[in-house]
Amino acid sequence: MNAHVPAGKRRGGHVVRILTIGAHAFTQLARMKVFHFLALFAVLAIASNFLNLPQHEGPESAGAAVLRSIKSWSLGAMTLFSVVIAVAATALLIPKDIEDRTLYTILAKPVPRIDYLAGRLLGVLLLLFVSLLAMDLLMTAVLQARTAIVLGEQRDMAAALGWPHDAVESLLAETRAAGPGWPLQGAVAAVFVRAAVMASIALLISTFSTSTLFTTVVGLLVYFIGHFQADARDFWLQGGEAGEGAAARLASLALALVLPDFQLFNVIDAVIEGSVVPLATLGRLVLAGGYYVVLFTLASWFIFAEKEI
C-alpha cells in the first residue's frame, strides 16, 4: 500500500463531490430508461404537424393555426414531462438509495449530507436539461420545416389573390414570428426552471416522506396549489383593507410564505400565444427559480441532516 497521505488533505471540494454524485444519479436514471419517453415526445411533435385543424377562417390563417398547434403540443408535452420527471425521479432516488443501502456506503465516506442532496438534485436537473434540450431541438426542427412550408403556401396564395405587397409582407412577418425563434427558447428555459423548482420541492418532501408515492402525490399537489400562491399573497396584502377574517388572512399568509409562486412561470403560455419575454425579465425569472431551488434544497438539508438512516 502507498505511503499514507492524510486523508483530510485530499478529500476534495464540495463541487467535485456534488458533480460526482450528480453524474452518478444521472447515469442511474438514464439506465432506468427514463429517456424512452423522448420517443413519445417525438411522435407527439410530429403528429401535431399533421393534425387537421378545423378551418374556421380563410386560408391565410390556416398556417398560423398549425404552427400554434405545434408549439402548444410541444411546450405542453415539455411541461408535463418535465414536471412529472422532476417529481418522480427525485422521489425515487433517495428511497432507492436507502433500500439498496447505497446511502450507507456513500454517507460512510467523508461526504457531507448537503453534498449528497445537492448531487442527487443535480442528477435530476441534468436529466431534465438533456431531455428538454432534445425536445427543444425536435420542436425547433419541426417548427422550422413547417414554417418554411407555410410561408411558401402563403406566398402562393397571396400571389394568386393579387394581394398588395405590404399585406403579403405583414402576413409573412406574422408567420415568421409564429415560427421558431428566441422567444420560444425563453419559454423552454422557463419550463426548465419551473421543473428545477419542482425537483427541489420533491427533494424536500422526500426527506421526510415515507414512500415514493407520497412524495409524488404531495409534490404534484404543491405544484397545483403553487399556482395560486400569488392569489393567496394578494389576498393577504389586500385583506386588511377589505376587512377579511383574521384566520383566512393568516392561512393565506402561510400559503404565500411556504409555497413558491408558480404563476410567474405562466409566461410560457404568453410566449406560445406570441409574446416575447425580454432577456432581462427572463433573467429575473431564472434568478427567482434559483432562489426557490436553493431555499428548498437548504430546507431539505435541515431535515436530512438530522435524519437517522
Footprint (CB under 8 A) of another protein, residues 177-196: 191, 194
- The reply on whether position 249 binds another protein by CB under 8 A is no
Query: Measured from the CB of residue 76, what is the shortest distance to another protein in angstroms?
Result: 3
- The reply on whether position 281 binds another protein by CB under 8 A is yes
Query: Measured from the CB of residue 298, what is the shortest distance to another protein in angstroms?
Result: 8
Contact 85, 34 (CB under 8 A): yes
Instruction: Give the range of 19-27, 120-128, 148-156, 214-222 binding another protein by CB under 8 A.
Output: 19-27
- The reply on whether position 146 binds another protein by CB under 8 A is no
Burial of 267 (0-12, 13-18, 19+ CB in 10 A): middle
**Region 64-83 residues binding another protein, contact defined as CB under 8 A:** 64-65, 68-69, 71-73, 75-76, 78-80
Question: DSSP 3-state assignment of 70?
Answer: helix
| Rounded-to-integer distance, Cα 73 and Cα 207, Å | 34
| Rounded-to-integer distance, Cα 248 and Cα 255, Å | 11
Alpha helices in 1-112 (DSSP H): 14-31, 37-50, 62-100, 102-107
How would you classify residue 278: left for phi > 0, otherwise alpha for psi between -120 and 50, otherwise beta? beta
Binds another protein by CB under 8 A, chosen from 227, 239, 244, 251: 227
- The reply on whether position 217 binds another protein by CB under 8 A is no
When the beta carbons of 61 and 214 are compared against another protein, the nearer one is 61
User: Torsions phi, psi of 143, nearest 5?
Assistant: -65, -40
Residue 265 cell numbers, joined: 412561470
Residue 91 cell numbers, joined: 422521489
Instruction: Give the range of 21-29, 129-137, 142-150, 154-162 binding another protein by CB under 8 A.
Output: 21-29
- The reply on whether position 267 binds another protein by CB under 8 A is yes
Query: Measured from the CB of residue 100, what is the shortest distance to another protein in angstroms?
Result: 4
Query: Measured from the CB of residue 261, what is the shortest distance to another protein in angstroms?
Result: 5
